[in-house]
Structure 1
Amino acid sequence: MRALLVDHCAPSGLCLGETADPEPAPNQALIRVAATSLNFGEVSHAVSQAPDNAVLGWDAAGVVERAATDGSGPAAGTPVLTLGESGGWAEFRAVDTGMLGIAPVGTDLGALSTLPVAGTSALRALRRIGSLSGKRVLITGSTGGVGRYAVQLAHLGDAHVIASTGEPDAHGNDLRALGADEVIPGPEHTGALVDAVVDCVGGPQLVQAFEKLAPHGTLIAVGDVTLQPVHFPPGAFLGNDGRHGRSITTFHLQDGPLPGPDLTWLADRIAASDLTPQISWRGDWNQADEAIAALMARRLHGKAVLDITP
């Protein structure tokens, strides 16, 4: 089969080539991949750390080519979206049936490919907050893949959504269309305290966001794109001003139940137009170098999708 293979001599670190087809285990379905979406973390870090000829890729959507032989999972011909640690950048992917979601027939597979990491991260981070209704929820890095889904899902949960972005004038209308009630240039501009934070940035913004937490508020640290040290000032964790019980919790996407049901639920929201994938770049996987360059240069606000052509 064809795949995007790690090639450290290539400008992007990847090249199209041939590799062996995957051999599914009994609890795995074989998926014919139609589209994959790129994540900043995998193209900025995973590629550089992988050996030549490895097949990476966390997100992929396609159709079941061969059902799992143990009887679990969907039948051949079913459209699915899949999550895994590798294997998404190829014509075929072997996937544990608990790591795939079933999609309504006719749903755009490119749109579905944006959900596994970004959509599921946003959904599971917001669940840490509990009921969202009426709560003030701050989302940092709101123009990224996770951030945009977090804005939409928090809005669907009836939260008061505050979207933080470094370019509010450029992205304010777009974020409000997704469900943001306020768009601000940074956590320090929230005004009133917030009940929860989904932080997709890390570094100094994490500290600033924590300072804006109301009593018993929670900050979920989802991402760290700055790779800058986090320095809290003296007294930051004291509750002498009455703000007792504030907390910071770390996050890992696969901490908890297998994501299959979440992926199915998210696919249904895409099919019903309750969520929009916010694809900012889409093209054939022959153009992967172009997409990766745009992603690495921070020129994309949203998701980059590669269509996997036979």
Structure 2
Amino acid sequence: MRAIVHDPAAGLRMSEAPEPEPEPHQVLIDVRAASLNFLDVAYRDVNLAAGDIPGVDAAGIVRTPAADGSGPPAGSRVVSFAMGGAWAEHRTAAAADTAVVPDGVELTTAAALPGAGVTALQALRRLGPLLGRRVLVTGASGGVGRFAVQLAALSGAEVVAAVGSTARATGLTGLGAREVVTDLADVRRPVGGVIENVGGPLLSQAFGLLDTGGLAVSVGQASGRPTMIDFEAERRRGMAGRRVEAFIIQLGIASDLALLLDLVADGALDPQIGRRESWLQFAAVADDLRSRKIIGKAVLEIGA
């Protein structure tokens, strides 16, 4: 099969790759669309060995159902999540991380949901009930950020969206953000929770905006910089009830995917796809995502 593979010397390249062999709990999928996440391109050299196929999100048609009887039957339109293998003509994924795509939802749309959408959903759950609470989303212009803004607003939160520039703020108020800022110094009132996608000094600054008892969920480290928090200063200020925790997606996400797909089918959630291209354009799309030229999600049409 054809696939996009990681080459430490040359970067990404199109190549022939071995056909994946599904385990009993996995489905084999004919991939029609795959999305790109920042981790797929920014941390490729760290996470992948030579010849590995990147990509966690893929949508397509079930070729071979799971041998153990779990998951959808052959011929089903599905979206899937797995740690790698998405940027190929065929991929395997656990049935527990695969969901049937409703009629009326395009596979290219569904492909944008798993990594970013489920991350936003699960991270927001860590904050607890959101109705009436102020929630700050940093890196709000990216894939996870735009899902988090929408899902928090749908849950009744007062959403503060932080972006790196006014150009990247496009559309965020329409997605439910009550405030949009390019500098956290402009956030004048405390927040009850933070979905933090940038890391480094911004995580420290966002942590400082939490009200007593608030939680900052550290989802990503797009800045590539370490975070320093002065906990002794926290004690002196009497703010010891504030917390920060690192986020890791919890697998077995079929029900989370089904929820997001239903919201998309109902018109309540927009995956915010900023770029759709043939997978023949993978190199340009990956470079543009890494250099922040794409707002929202990027999707490759596999085989196109």
Query: Does residue 1:232 correspond to 2:229, yes or no?
Result: yes
Show the 5 A alignment for 1:155-304.
Answer: 155-167=153-165, 169-233=166-230, 235-238=232-235, 240-254=236-250, 258-304=252-298
Choose which of 125, 146, 149 in structure 2 pairs with 1:148: 146
- Which residue is 2:108 aligned to? 110
CA distance in 2, matches of 1:66, 1:188: 53
The CA deviation at 1:272 is: 1.5
Indicate how the Cα distance of structure 1 residues 182 and 70 shifts in structure 2: closer, same or farther if over 3 A, else same.
same
| CA-to-aligned-CA distance 1:68-99 (integer Å, 9 cap, x gap) | 12111011121111111111111111111111
Residue type at the aligned position of 1:73: G
Show the 5 A alignment for 1:9-28.
Answer: 9-10=9-10, 13-28=11-26
3-state SS of the aligned residue for 1:182?
A: strand
Indicate how the Cα distance of structure 1 residues 115 and 2 shifts in structure 2: closer, same or farther if over 3 A, else same.
same
Does the CA-based 8 Å contact 1:67-1:73 persist in structure 2? Answer: yes
Residue type at the aligned position of 1:82: S
Gaps of 5+ in 1: none
Show the 5 A alignment for 1:128-143.
Answer: 128-143=126-141
- RMSD between aligned alpha carbons? 1.6
Regions of 4+ moved over 4 Å: none
The CA deviation at 1:233 is: 3.7
Gaps of 5+ in 2: none
- Which residue is 1:53 aligned to? 51
Residue type at the aligned position of 2:239: R
| CA-to-aligned-CA distance 1:247-286 (integer Å, 9 cap, x gap) | 11111013xx511110111111112221111111111000
- Which residue is 2:8 aligned to? 8
| CA-to-aligned-CA distance 1:37-75 (integer Å, 9 cap, x gap) | 111112122246533322221111111111112111011
- Which residue is 1:68 aligned to? 66
Count of aligned residue pairs for this structure pair: 304
CA distance in 1, matches of 2:48, 2:162: 33
Identity within the alignment, %: 41
Residue type at the aligned position of 1:114: A
Residue type at the aligned position of 2:186: H
TM-score w.r.t. the length of structure 1 is 0.93
Choose which of 71, 84, 87 in structure 1 pairs with 2:85: 87
TM-score w.r.t. the length of structure 2 is 0.95
Indicate how the Cα distance of structure 1 residues 53 and 173 shifts in structure 2: closer, same or farther if over 3 A, else same.
closer
CA distance in 2, matches of 1:225, 1:165: 12
